[in-house]
Amino acid sequence: MSKSFDTLPVELIDNIAQSLQGDDLVMLARTQRVIHGICTPWIYRRVILLDCVCAVLCLRTLASNVQCAHSVRALAIRFDPDLMLDAFRRLIRAALRNLQSLVTLDLRLYPEIFSLVSDIHFPRLDLCSLPFCSDIIAFLNLHPDITGLSFDPVLHSSVLGLASLPPIPLASLQMFSGPELVGMSTIPQSPVTRIGIFWNAGGFRQFFDAISPRTAEIVEFQNILAIWELALPPLIAENLPNLTSLSLRNVSPAESSSDYDDFIECVGQALPSLAYLETLSIAQGVGRLAFNPTHLDREFDIIILWGAAAPQLKYCILPSDTRWLRVHSDLNVWYPSNANDDADAQTETEAHDMLERFRWFVNKVLTAGTALPASYLTVLQIIGGKEMVAELQAGFEMRGVVPEFELAVKPTGITITFV
């Protein structure tokens, strides 16, 4: 006997709706009135407004339908209206006033939109991404219990020339990412443990002096730089001794090699003071750089020194986008893997780069002789197979060069075959 879909238990329909997204969820909601009521909270649970037309339609619903509005847990606006008419301004305010269950808010790219709603209180707000403009002071004072706060790195005209901000107490804040000026007003007043700083003015000493009451609790520190700042690594080592994760990214498209070398030396000198550091990342530019195998020899020499200076260090990511992984503390072998180590999610290019890194590792281990500990050969045998590695080793000892070989990824791991 066939039964109507709406005769299924409400819990089962709810689970089905929860697993659907986009058009599939909307189509299910349109089948029957009862099912529409079950699907509505999931349709509006996460709202991302990508263009003005869709935004107007959605905002009208949120302004007029309290059930839909109370279903919204996350809101992100990803479009910039060229001209905001008064009717549109009123619509945004009316819609957002109804979002009493909002947990996550992302308005970081659009100060003009944020200024329209900066005086609205969202009682359940926990995570927010905001533009760096003067309206943040009033907004954050309305939301002292948020746990995550991030900013767009571009300064709005309303804060240009500001030398300081008043203290902003955020008693529950755990994560902060933004300009040092905002950090100096929020971090000292909060129990934050993870911070990211976009360095604009370069006032490193002033920043660390301001946050000194909280430095012992900070364990993760990300830095966005315009140049390789030689003054920064020693200040980090001096003020943040309990760091477990450190990231330093220079977003300039190009920097001189001498500046980079000097910066790397400063990092190496700071490492002995960071006794708990487990992860370290140093990157150049914005986005993923094309992989160049010739950089691996230089990075390997750096990693060997850093591994000795920081015994707790587990992996490093350097500008070649290589994730240098320390393989088991007892073996103390540094292996070059992809920064994205999820094999199932890797692109074709990333899969190719992974094999090229392994090719470098094969050649490095076989040609190094006694210059590397025997544990490197052990790791190579585990990955490539003892018999095949033995043949490659024999070929190198006989001819003085590693025989040509091809690599492939199979469910059992990386396989080596002779050309």
Distance CA 196, CA 179 (A): 8
Distance CA 144, CA 128 (A): 12
Question: Which whole number is the average pLDDT over 5-17?
Answer: 58
Q: Two tokens at 351?
A: 């899969």
pLDDT in tens, 194-244: 999 999 866 899 999 999 888 888 999 999 999 999 999 999 999 999 999
Distance CA 217, CA 219 (A): 6
Q: Residue 14 has what pLDDT?
A: 54
| Residue 288: pLDDT over 70 | no
Distance CA 187, CA 170 (A): 8
Q: Residue 1 has what pLDDT?
A: 36
Q: Residue 339 has what pLDDT?
A: 74
Instruction: State the chain's mean pLDDT as an integer.
Output: 86
β-pairing verdict for 104-106 and 279-284: unpaired
On the 0-12 / 13-18 / 19+ scale of CB atoms within 10 A, 57 is exposed
Region of poorest pLDDT, from 184-198, 219-233, 260-274, 341-355 = 341-355
Q: Residue 216 has what pLDDT?
A: 81
Q: Residue 26 has what pLDDT?
A: 58
Given a contact cutoff of 8 angstroms between Cβ atoms, the answer to whether 336 and 324 are in contact is yes
Query: Would you list the domain boundaries of the chain?
Result: 1-43
| Residue 69: pLDDT over 50 | yes
Given a contact cutoff of 8 angstroms between Cβ atoms, the answer to whether 173 and 163 are in contact is no
Give the three-state DSSP class for 194: strand
| Residue 2: pLDDT over 50 | no
pLDDT in tens, 27-46: 655 555 655 555 666 677 88
Per the model's pLDDT, the better-predicted residue between 185 and 414 turns out to be 185
From the candidate CATH numbers 1.20.950, 1.20.1280, 3.90.700, 1.20.1510, the one assigned to the domain spanning 1-43: 1.20.1280
Q: Residue 86 has what pLDDT?
A: 87
**What is the share, in percent, of the chain residues with pLDDT greater than 90?**
51
Distance CA 318, CA 146 (A): 33
Give the three-state DSSP class for 247: strand
Q: Two tokens at 4?
A: 């109507």
